[in-house]
Amino acid sequence: MTDLLAAIGYDRWILNVLLGLPLAGMALVLLSPAERARWITLVVALVEFVLSLGLWWAFDPADGGLQFRVDVAWLPQLGIRYSVGIDGISLFMVLLSTAMMPLLVFGSWRAIDQKRRGFYSLLLALKTGMLGVFVALDLFLFYCFWELLLIPMYFMIGTYGSEGRLYAATKFFVYTFAGSLLMLVAIAAMVWTVGQGSGTYSFSYEHLLAHRDLLAPAAPWLFTAFALAFAVKVPLFPFHTWLPDAHVQAPTAGSVDLAVILLKMGTYGFLRFGIPLFPGFALSPPVAGVLVALSVTGILYAALVAMVQPDLKKLVAYSSVSHLGFVVFGIWAATVESVQGAIIIMIAHGMATGALFFLIGMLYERRHTRLIADFGGLAQVAPLLATCFAITAFASIGVPGLSGFVGEFLVLLGSFGRFPVATVLATLVVIFAAAYLLWAMQRVFFNRLANEANRSVPDLEPRELAVMVPLIVAMLWIGLYPKPILERTEAASARYVELVAPYLPGAPAPVAARPAGAP
Amino acid sequence: MTRLVDPAGLGGAVVALLPELFLAAWTLLVLGVVAWRHRTEEDSYLVGRLSLAGVVLAGLAYAALWLQGVRTTPDSAMVVLDDFRIAGAAIILLVAGPTILLSLRFLDRQRLLAPEYYVLVLLATLGMLAMVAAADLMVLFLGLELMSVAVYVLAGYDRFRRSSAEAALKYFLIGAFASGFLLYGIALVFGATGTTNLRLVAERLGPGPLSPMAGLGLGLLLVGFGFKVSAVPFHMWAPDVYDGAPTPVTGFMAAGVKAAGFAALARVLLEAFPAAAAAWQPVVGLLAVATIVGGNVVALAQHSLKRMLAYSSIAHAGYLLAALWAGSSVGLTALLLYLGAYCLTTVAAFGILLSIERVGSRTVLIEDLEGLFLVRPWAALSMSVCLISLLGFPGTYGFIGKWSIIAAVAAEGQVLLAVAVVLGSAISAGYYLPVIMGMTMKPTRTPQSHRQVAFSRAAKVIVAGAVIANLLFGVWPAPLVDAARDSAAAVIGAVGGGVAGR
C-alpha cells in the first residue's frame, strides 16, 4: 500500500485535492438542478473519504514533524505562502472530518427538503474551511480558513435551523468573529516583531516557531489574543454561551459539524499555535492556573447544567462543553500521555457527540420535538434506535471498552502529577456525565410509554443504520484497540512536549535559543 | 524607462496636465452641447454618453503617460506627475465612469432630466484630479473648490424632494466653512515659510519643532480636511447630506470625494510636514479612533439602508485615518489598497441600492430588503458580498485592505490603534449582518415590490464586474499590492523615508 501511494506521488497532491475537491463539488452543485445536489455531494464526499484513507498508510508514525508538505508562494511581497502539511495531531482531525462527510449527507438526506442546492453547497464549503484550518501552516492562510468557516456556518444555522435560528446565527457569528479579530492584530504584530529580529518577514509557522524567543517580550498580550480566539471556539467557560444556542438551533448536519470539527479547532489551535509559540508565558504557573481552573470549572459547571436541561439537544451541547474542558486540561499538563489522551478525546468526543446529534435529529424527524418530557418508553417501539443511543451514551460517559474511556484515562493519568487537585475534581465529572446521560436515556427510552404519539414511532431505517453502524464500530474499535491511533499520535505528542518542556515550571532553565527539531 | 518633464515650462506643463487639459476641454464641449440640446430624454442620454467619453479620454491620457513612463522632475513647482498621482487618478476615474453610467437610467426613472448633471460630474472629477496632482497648496485648494462647488449642486439635484435641498444647503454651508479653515491654514503656513509649495514647506520648516504659526496652520488644515473626509467630530453634515442627495451622487461623494480628500491629505502631511509627525500623529490617531467608534456605533441604530451606508462610510474614513497615522510607506500602501477596496465596494453597493429604489417612494429601509434573495437572488448575493467586503472578511478585497492597515499600524508598534480598527469591524458586524440576514434568511413580506427591482444593463455590468473583481482581488491581490507600493514609494521615497525613518 505504502509503495503504491508513493508511486503515485500521493504525498505531494493529496492535501491540495482534499481542499479543492469540495470547492469543485460546490460549483457543480450550484450549477446542477436541485434534485441532484445531494447525489453530487454524496459522490464528492465518498471520493474525498476514500482519497483521505491513504493518509492512514502513507503517514510515517515515527516522524513527529510535519508531513505531506506543500509550500508555494501566494503573496511573496507580503511573505505569505500557501503552505500546508499535517502531523500526528492534525492527521486525525483531517480523517475525522472526511469520514464524517458521507455520514452528514446521509443524515440530511430526508431532513433537508427545500433549498437543497444552498444546503449542500454550504456543507461542501464548510468542509474546505475545516480541512484548511487543520492543515494550514502559514498563519495568514490559517486565519483566512479560520474566518471563512464562519460564513457557511452562519448561513447554515440561519437558513436551515429551527425557530430561534436568527438569534443563534447572529450570536455564533458575533462571538467567534469578535474573538478572532484580536488574533489578527496579534499575527500582524508577531510577523513584524520576528521580521525585525530575524530579517525575514514571513507568516510561516516554522519560521515563527524557530524565532519564538523574539516573541517572549510581547508574549502576554500576543498569547491572550490567540487564547481569546481559541477559547471562544473550544468553548471554554465563560465564553461558551453561544454554543448551546448554536447547537440547538442548527440543523442536524450543522450540529454534527459543530460538535465534531468546529469545537476541535480551538483545542487544536492551543496545541499547534497557542502554547508552542509562547510557551514561557502560556505555561507559567499563573496562566496555567487560570486556564486549568477555567477548564475544570467548565467541566463541572457544564455537567451540572446539562443535568437539568429539558431539551435533549441542549443537554448534549452542554456535555460538549464539559468534555472539551478535559482536552484543555490535558494540553496544559503537557506530558506525552496527557496530550495523546487529549487527541483521543477529541476524536472520541467527535464520534460520540456526532452520533448523539444524529440520533436526536432522527428522533426530531419522527416526533418534531426534542423535549425529553415528550418521550418515554421508546425502547419498546424502536429497539434499534434505543440500542444505538445506549451504546453512544456509554461511549460518551466513558465506559471502559468504548472510545470515551481511553482518552479520559490517559488525560487523568498524564496530568495527575502536575495538577493533582484539579485531576481529582475532573474525575468527578465522570459521575455527573453518567448521571445526566443515563437519566435522559431512562426518560426517553425506558419509563412507561405514556404518550400515545410515541406508539407510532418507526424504528431506524437502513439509511439511518448506515449512518450509525460505522460510528458505533469506530467507537468500539477505539475503545478496544486504540494502538494504531496511539502509534500515530505518539511522535507528534512527544514533539509537542519536547517543544514546551523546557518552559514547564520546575524544568531546568531553557538554554537552547532554538527549540530542538525546528528548522 | 522614465522620461522626466519639468512643468515649469509650457511644454512640460502641457504634458504633465495632459489628462486634465483633455477633460477640461471636453467638459466645455459638453457644456456647449447642453446649451443646444437640453429638452428631451434623448438629450440627457446623449450628454451622459458624451460625458462618459470624456472620462474615458482622461483615462486614456493617464494610461499613455503611465505607459510612456512620463514623470515630472523631483523639484517641480505646481503639479507633480508620479505613481501616487496616477494611482489616485485611476481610483477617481474608476468611480466617475460608473457614476455616470449608473445615473443614466436613474435620472430618467426619477424624472430628473437635466443634462447639466453630467457636466457637474465632469467638473467635480476635474477638481479631484487636480487635488491628487497638486504639488502646491494653491493648486490643491483650487481643485478642492472646483470639486466641492460642483458636488454642492449635485447634492441638491433632486429638486422634488426637500431632503435633497436640505442636503445641498447643509453641505454648502459646512463646506464653505471647511474651505475657510483650509484657506486660513494655507495662509498661516505661507506666513511661516514664505511658500505654498509642499516640498519647499518641508524644507523651510526644517527638522525642529514647528513654530506657533506653522503649527496653527497645520491644525487648521487638519480641521478643514477633517470636514472634507467626514472625520468625527467634523462629520455632522455627512449623514444628512448622504441621505438627501440622489443615490448615484451619494455613491460618488462617499467614494470619489473621500478618495481625493485622503490622497490630498496624505500628500500634505507626508510631503509638507514629514518632520512634524510628532505634532500631527497624535491628532490623526485620536481622530481615527473617534471616527471609527463614532461612525460604527451610530450606524448600529440606523433603519434606512442609505443612512446606514453613510455612517459606515464615516467609519471607513476612520480606518483610512489609521493608515495615514502610520505615516510610513507601508501605511501609505495600506491607504491606497484600502481606498481601492472601499471605492470598488461602495460603487457596487450604491449601484444595487439605486436599482432597488423606486420612483417617489421613501428611502429604502433595511427591513424592505427582507426576503430579497428568494425573488432576486443575484442582487441579494452581490449585496452580501459587498457588505462582507466592507466588513473586512477573508476572501474579499476588503480584507486585504483591512489587513494591510492593521499590519502598517502594528509595524509602528501602536497596537492600541490596531485594536481599535478590529474592534470597529467587530461592531460593524452588528449592522452589516442584519442586512444580509434580512435578505437571505427572512421570508419575503413584499414580493411584489421585489419583483419591480430593475437593474439597467449598465448597473448589471458594473455591479457584477465590481463584485467579481472584489472576490478576485481578495484571493490574488499581488498586482495591486505591487502598484500601491510603487505609488507610496513615490511620496515617501522622495521625502527621505517617511516620518519614522522607514
> What is the model's pLDDT at position B118?
94
**Cβ of B394 under 8 Å from any chain A Cβ?**
yes
Q: Is residue A125 part of a domain?
A: no
Flag if A147 and B410 touch (Cβ within 8 Å). no
Residues in A closer than 8 angstroms to B407, CB to CB, are: 78, 188, 191-192
Q: Is residue A463 part of a domain?
A: yes
Q: How far is A192 from chain B (nearest CA, A)?
A: 6
Comparison of pLDDT for B256 and A453, the residue scoring more: B256
> What is the model's pLDDT at position B494?
56
Smallest Cβ–Cβ distance between A184 and the set B406, B477, B482 belongs to B406
Q: Is residue A421 part of a domain?
A: yes
Flag if B429 and A174 touch (Cβ within 8 Å). yes
Q: How far is A273 from chain B (nearest CA, A)?
A: 20
Q: How many domains does chain A have?
A: 1
The string of pLDDT tens digits covering residues A193-209 is 898 888 888 899 989 98
Q: Is residue A98 part of a domain?
A: no
Flag if A178 and B426 touch (Cβ within 8 Å). yes
Q: Look up residue A208 and give its three cell numbers.
A: 515563527
Flag if A188 and B418 touch (Cβ within 8 Å). yes
CB of B230 closer than 8 Å to CB of B317: yes
Contacts of B58 (CB under 8 A, 6+ apart): B19, B20, B22, B23, B26, B89, B93, B125, B129
> What is the distance between the alpha carbons of residues A98 and A24, in angstroms, rounded to a whole number?
16
Q: Is residue A315 part of a domain?
A: yes
Contacts of B367 (CB under 8 A, 6+ apart): B303, B438, B445
The string of pLDDT tens digits covering residues A99-147 is 988 888 888 888 877 788 888 999 899 999 999 999 999 999 999 999 8
Chain B neighbours among A 140-179 (CB < 8 Å)? 140, 143-144, 147-148, 151, 155, 158-159, 165-166, 169-170, 173-174, 177-178
Q: Is residue A292 part of a domain?
A: yes
Q: Is A310 exposed, middle or buried (0-12, 13-18, 19+ CB in 10 A)?
A: exposed
Residues in A closer than 8 angstroms to B434, CB to CB, are: 170
- At residue A7 the predicted structure's pLDDT band, cuts being 50, 70 and 90, is confident
- Percent of chain A scored above 70 by pLDDT? 97
Its pTM stands at: 0.91
Residues in B closer than 8 angstroms to A182, CB to CB, are: 419, 422
CB pairs under 8 A between A and B: 78
Q: Is residue A215 part of a domain?
A: no
Flag if B410 and A192 touch (Cβ within 8 Å). yes
> What is the model's pLDDT at position B362?
64
Residues in A closer than 8 angstroms to B329, CB to CB, are: none
- DSSP annotation of B443 reads P
The string of pLDDT tens digits covering residues A280-289 is 888 888 899 8
* ipTM score for this prediction: 0.89
Determine the residue among A181, A193, A201, A221 to mutate to test chain B binding: the one whose Cβ has the most chain B Cβ atoms within 10 Å.
A181
Q: How far is A248 from chain B (nearest CA, A)?
A: 17
CB of B77 closer than 8 Å to CB of B10: no
Q: Is B220 exposed, middle or buried (0-12, 13-18, 19+ CB in 10 A)?
A: buried
Flag if A166 and B393 touch (Cβ within 8 Å). no
Comparison of pLDDT for A235 and A510, the residue scoring more: A235
**Cβ of B500 under 8 Å from any chain A Cβ?**
no
Average pLDDT in chain A: 87
> What is the model's pLDDT at position A420?
87
Q: How far is A180 from chain B (nearest CA, A)?
A: 10
Domain range for A319: 284-480
Q: Is A301 exposed, middle or buried (0-12, 13-18, 19+ CB in 10 A)?
A: middle
Flag if A192 and B433 touch (Cβ within 8 Å). no
Low-confidence ranges of chain B (pLDDT < 50): 496-502
Give residue A222's identity as a one-letter amino acid code: L
Determine the residue among B406, B475, B485 to mutate to test chain A binding: the one whose Cβ has the most chain A Cβ atoms within 10 Å.
B406
Determine what percent of chain B falls in helix, strand and coil, rounding each to the nearest 5. 80, 0, 20
**Cβ of B415 under 8 Å from any chain A Cβ?**
yes
The string of pLDDT tens digits covering residues A159-217 is 888 888 888 898 889 888 888 888 999 999 999 889 888 888 889 998 998 888 888 88
Q: Is residue A27 part of a domain?
A: no
Flag if B419 and A184 touch (Cβ within 8 Å). no
> What is the model's pLDDT at position A429?
75
